[in-house]
């Protein structure tokens, strides 16, 4: 393995560890009324892709239909999603985000953004924040290549 390859592997490993740790930290910083991680994942998928079935959500979330059923029931009980018959196949039920569900998702995202901003402001200089900003397009290119 060439020295350059080792450097890339070291950077990739450090990036994976740091991003994974950052995501885990963000998941822990949630209020008592915030959706859980599985609930947030469902809300985000419905927000991004529109209405879909519970089976589709389970498949995309890599969870069992039973686990997804528990998550869906909790979201529906809180009025964050609704069930409706599929207009093209009345036997199938589609799940959709409600206005309250969209608001809960936005609140969760805003809370995460504020948490990151506060941590950056308290630990990084203005020049370091600019360096992070300059790195974002590079990280997006790496993400898009995966």
In DSSP terms, which residues pair with 95 in a beta bridge?
52, 83
Query: Domains along the chain?
Result: 22-145 (1.10.10.10)
pTM over 0.95: no
Q: Is 4 a residue whose pLDDT tops 90?
A: no
3-class secondary structure, 84: strand
User: What span, in angstroms and rounded, lies between the C-alpha atoms of 50 and 53?
Assistant: 10
Mean pLDDT over 63-88 rounds to: 95
Which sign, positive or negative, has the C-alpha torsion 20, 21, 24, 26?
negative
Asked whether the predicted pLDDT for residue 89 surpasses 90, the reply is no
Q: Which pair of tokens denotes residue 70?
A: 């528990």
User: What whole-number distance in Å separates Cα of residue 79 and Cα of residue 35?
Assistant: 12
How confident is the model at residue 139, as a pLDDT? 94
């Amino acid at each position: 393995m060439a020295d350059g390859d080792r450097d890339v592997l070291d950077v990739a490993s450090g990036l994976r560890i740091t991003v994974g740790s950052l995501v885990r930290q963000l998941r822990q910083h949630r209020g008592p009324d915030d959706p859980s991680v599985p609930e947030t994942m469902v809300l985000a998928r419905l927000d991004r892709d529109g209405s879909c079935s519970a089976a589709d959500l389970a498949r995309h979330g890599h969870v069992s239909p039973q686990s997804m059923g528990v998550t869906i029931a909790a979201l529906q009980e809180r009025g964050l999603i609704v069930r409706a018959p599929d207009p093209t196949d009345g036997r199938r039920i589609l799940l959709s985000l409600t206005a309250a569900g969209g608001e809960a998702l936005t609140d969760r995202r805003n809370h995460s953004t504020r948490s990151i901003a506060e941590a950056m402001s308290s630990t990084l200089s203005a020049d370091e924040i600019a360096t992070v900003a300059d790195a974002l397009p590079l990280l997006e290119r790496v993400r898009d290549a995966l």
